[in-house]
Chain A
Amino acid sequence: MATVPLHVPLDDPAIAGINRAQALWRTMRKKPLGAFSAALLVVIVLMAIFADVLAPYDPLATQPEIRLSAPSRAHPFGTDDIGRDVLSRIIYGARISLWVGLLAVGIGTAAGMVIGLLCGYCEGRLDLIVQRVMDAIQAIPGLVLALAIVSVLKPNTTNAMLAIAMVIIPGNSRIVRGAVLSAKQNRYVEAAQAMGCRHPRIILTHILPNVTAPILVIASIWLGNAILIEATLSFLGVGTQPPTPSWGLMLSSTGRAFMEQAPWLAVFPGLAISLAVLGFNLFGDTLRDAWDPKLRRSG
């Protein structure tokens, strides 16, 4: 964890003057929900990384003779309509969800950060024009925009990820721009300008460290939303394509069709999505409380 000085309220002696890792640790000890969310995320991440070892069966292997089997010791989450093990598919599904979430948020955050830094630092005409473009993108409902982008690019996991990143960019750029405008007021930025420091150096060494806290907090909150949007796109048939195991796809393809006959097909993937999103939402709240209490109102 980085040890960049915190963007903390200086009137709070309890947390002023400590590094980010310590602030996070302190908040998690004070707030049990934060510790719970961290544990939940660790489980999901480990599940995604070690899916090959943890999954009891091949997620694509079909066994028609045991189709729609109820949960049992051999298949704790039951089997689907062509006899695939639901637990194994959920474990592998964690990979898709995390992969899409991390990359979409990574791209969206990086692009939003560059745009926000440039707009906030340069201001003037560039800021005015770029922010109007961001407003225009934000005026289109996120799911409709994502759906249209996926339809343009061809429905698959990578394109769903790019579409989600596009939805994330405008909001992130606004938050970074606001943080840059506020960071620019600091005396040390004025001093750096007076000393003749070049703009890239001022942006990278004096302003960027001040905006990383809100960026990381917003990114963690967006991770949950990105997983939710991917699941919705897959549910609509324009995200991950069969037979790749994806939680949203599992819900739409077999979950709904066999809901009355085999409710476990809808219950377990839905639970997996909800727990993953819950974990990221709670962890995002914890990061916000630890690193950037000023953002509390925006959450």
Chain B
Amino acid sequence: MQKYVIRRLLLAVPVLLLSSLIVFGLMRVMPGDALIALMGESGNVGEKELAKLRKDLGLDRPYYQQYLLWCWQMVSLRPGDSIFTNEPIAVSLRKAIPVTLELAALAMIIGLVIAVPVGVLSATRQDKPSDYAGRVVAVAGLSIPDFWLATLVITFSAIWVHWIPPIGYVSFWDSPWRNLQQFLLPAAVLGYRLSAATMRMTRSTVLETLREDYVRTAWAKGLAGRIVVYKHALKNALIPVVTIIGGQLGTLLAGTFVVEQIFALPGMGRLTVEAILYRDYPVVQTNVMLVAATLVTLNLLVDLTYAWLDPRIRYR
């Protein structure tokens, strides 16, 4: 097992290095830079000031030096300042990460509350009307764009119940009720989309597990249907579902931009995409690397868990 862990860790390092090179390269070949975007906001600035600003920000150095400096900043956990707002990136992240984590956690809870019971119901009543209904709901969740659903939810709640979530982010510790009001609708929109994939996976693994010998034995023992399904079958069927949920966390860290934008939530996705549009290199690079490192770590943990559960994997 030790050898396997070391091998996997060694493989994760080049992946992160390559990701960093891709992100760095993409940001450098983008037409226009942060200073030009900044000038667009603040008016005319002379060539001299521009050159001085470039020097101050280290943008006049050769690319390899800029890359190595950035790598060092990442390793030493001092990602520098935003070119656009001058705010230290660590401070921006400290503000944005809790928003995204709260949104992701709520969305996941809502997604699981919908997905697992519907998936089990669909599997236990295979090819019955309730199964078809559950599957259509799940495929619809995968097909409806979240920005459309979010727009409809916010508009129709305003028209029909004359209520919109309060604008201006408030943290849970300052005002739990106001905070929940702000997060409920976006989390429901994201949760519904997440539930679709989880529901499909739950249905398919429960169906497989229900055909296993030990489940047949449980039925033969005369156990109640609920106990057979929820205690015996579901427990084992949930292992691949957990893998899917792990992958969804990665998606939620940066894939929630549109929903964050529509509901005016200052999370990681919004921070990253706005930084891309303003060519704010340090912010984009740091955020994307943070997400990439989280994804690589999550994948590594999933693989290690599988290797721990199934010894055959270690010897491959």
Chain A interface residues (CB < 8 Å from chain B): 33, 132-133, 135-144, 147-149, 151-152, 154, 224, 228, 231-232, 235-236, 248, 251-252, 255-256, 259-260, 263, 266-267, 270, 273-275, 277-278, 281-282, 285, 296-297, 299
A266 contacts B273, C-beta separation under 8 Å = no
Inter-chain residue pair count (beta carbon < 8 A): 137
Interface centre among B144, B148, B257 (most CB of A within 10 A): B148
B143 contacts A278, C-beta separation under 8 Å = yes
Nearest neighbor of B293 in chain A, beta-carbon distance: A139
Of B135, B136, B147, B288, the residue contacting A144 (CB under 8 A) is: B288
Given A137-B22, A139-B296, A148-B27, the answer on whether A266 and B148 have CB atoms closer than 8 Å is yes
Nearest neighbor of A267 in chain B, beta-carbon distance: B152
Of A132, A138, A232, the residue contacting B145 (CB under 8 A) is: A232
> Would you list 17 pairs from A and B whose C-beta atoms are within 8 A, ordered by A residue?
A133-B18, A135-B18, A136-B17, A136-B21, A140-B288, A142-B255, A144-B273, A147-B273, A148-B276, A148-B284, A152-B26, A235-B147, A235-B258, A259-B155, A270-B152, A274-B143, A281-B143
B29 contacts A152, C-beta separation under 8 Å = yes
Interface centre among A144, A152, A266 (most CB of B within 10 A): A144
A152 contacts B31, C-beta separation under 8 Å = yes
CB distance from B251 to the nearest CB of A (A): 7
Given A136-B15, A151-B276, A296-B204, the answer on whether A259 and B254 have CB atoms closer than 8 Å is no
With A138-B295, A152-B26, A263-B155 known, 13 other A-B pairs at CB within 8 A are A132-B18, A139-B15, A139-B291, A143-B257, A144-B273, A148-B27, A152-B30, A228-B143, A235-B147, A252-B147, A270-B151, A281-B139, A281-B143
A144 contacts B254, C-beta separation under 8 Å = yes
A151 contacts B277, C-beta separation under 8 Å = yes
7 A-B pairs with least C-beta separation: A136-B18, A270-B148, A278-B143, A277-B143, A139-B292, A141-B254, A136-B19
B140-170: which have CB < 8 Å to A?
140, 142-145, 147-148, 151-152, 155, 158-159
Chain B interface residues (CB < 8 Å from chain A): 11, 14-19, 21-23, 26-27, 29-31, 132, 135-136, 139-140, 142-145, 147-148, 151-152, 155, 158-159, 200-201, 204-205, 240, 250-251, 253-255, 257-258, 272-273, 276-277, 279, 284, 288, 291-292, 295-296
In whole angstroms, how far apart are the Cα atoms of A143 and B287 in the complex? Answer: 14
In whole angstroms, how far apart are the Cα atoms of A251 and B255 in the complex? Answer: 19
A149 contacts B204, C-beta separation under 8 Å = no
In whole angstroms, how far apart are the Cα atoms of A135 and B155 in the complex? Answer: 40
CB distance from B158 to the nearest CB of A (A): 7
What chain A residues lie within 8 Å of B26 (beta carbons)? 148-149, 152
Q: Is the interface of A mostly helix, strand, loop or mixed?
A: helix
CB distance from A227 to the nearest CB of B (A): 9
A236 contacts B258, C-beta separation under 8 Å = yes
B284 contacts A139, C-beta separation under 8 Å = no
A232 contacts B258, C-beta separation under 8 Å = yes
CB distance from B22 to the nearest CB of A (A): 6
What chain A residues lie within 8 Å of B240 (beta carbons)? 297
Nearest neighbor of B273 in chain A, beta-carbon distance: A147
Interface centre among B15, B147, B205, B291 (most CB of A within 10 A): B147
Nearest neighbor of B27 in chain A, beta-carbon distance: A148
CB distance from B274 to the nearest CB of A (A): 11
Nearest neighbor of A144 in chain B, beta-carbon distance: B254
What chain B residues lie within 8 Å of A232 (beta carbons)? 145, 147, 258
B144 contacts A274, C-beta separation under 8 Å = yes
B158 contacts A260, C-beta separation under 8 Å = yes
What chain B residues lie within 8 Å of A297 (beta carbons)? 201, 204-205, 240
Given A136-B22, A259-B155, A285-B139, the answer on whether A274 and B288 have CB atoms closer than 8 Å is no
CB distance from B91 to the nearest CB of A (A): 21
Of B136, B151, B296, the residue contacting A33 (CB under 8 A) is: B136
What chain B residues lie within 8 Å of A270 (beta carbons)? 144-145, 148, 151-152
What chain A residues lie within 8 Å of B139 (beta carbons)? 278, 281-282, 285
In whole angstroms, how far apart are the Cα atoms of A274 and B152 in the complex? Answer: 13
In whole angstroms, how far apart are the Cα atoms of A140 and B253 in the complex? Answer: 11
What chain A residues lie within 8 Å of B291 (beta carbons)? 139-141, 144
B145 contacts A228, C-beta separation under 8 Å = yes
Given A148-B284, A152-B31, the answer on whether A266 and B145 have CB atoms closer than 8 Å is no
What chain A residues lie within 8 Å of B140 (beta carbons)? 274, 278
A299 contacts B200, C-beta separation under 8 Å = yes
In whole angstroms, how far apart are the Cα atoms of A290 and B255 in the complex? Answer: 32
What chain B residues lie within 8 Å of A137 (beta carbons)? 19, 22
CB distance from B12 to the nearest CB of A (A): 9
Given A143-B255, A228-B145, the answer on whether A255 and B272 have CB atoms closer than 8 Å is no
A141 contacts B15, C-beta separation under 8 Å = no
In whole angstroms, how far apart are the Cα atoms of A274 and B136 in the complex? Answer: 12
What chain A residues lie within 8 Å of B254 (beta carbons)? 141, 143-144
In whole angstroms, how far apart are the Cα atoms of A147 and B30 in the complex? Answer: 11
In whole angstroms, how far apart are the Cα atoms of A165 and B291 in the complex? Answer: 21
Given A136-B18, A148-B284, the answer on whether A274 and B145 have CB atoms closer than 8 Å is yes
What chain A residues lie within 8 Å of B284 (beta carbons)? 148
Of B19, B142, B151, B273, the residue contacting A140 (CB under 8 A) is: B19
CB distance from B42 to the nearest CB of A (A): 21
What chain B residues lie within 8 Å of A260 (beta carbons)? 155, 158-159
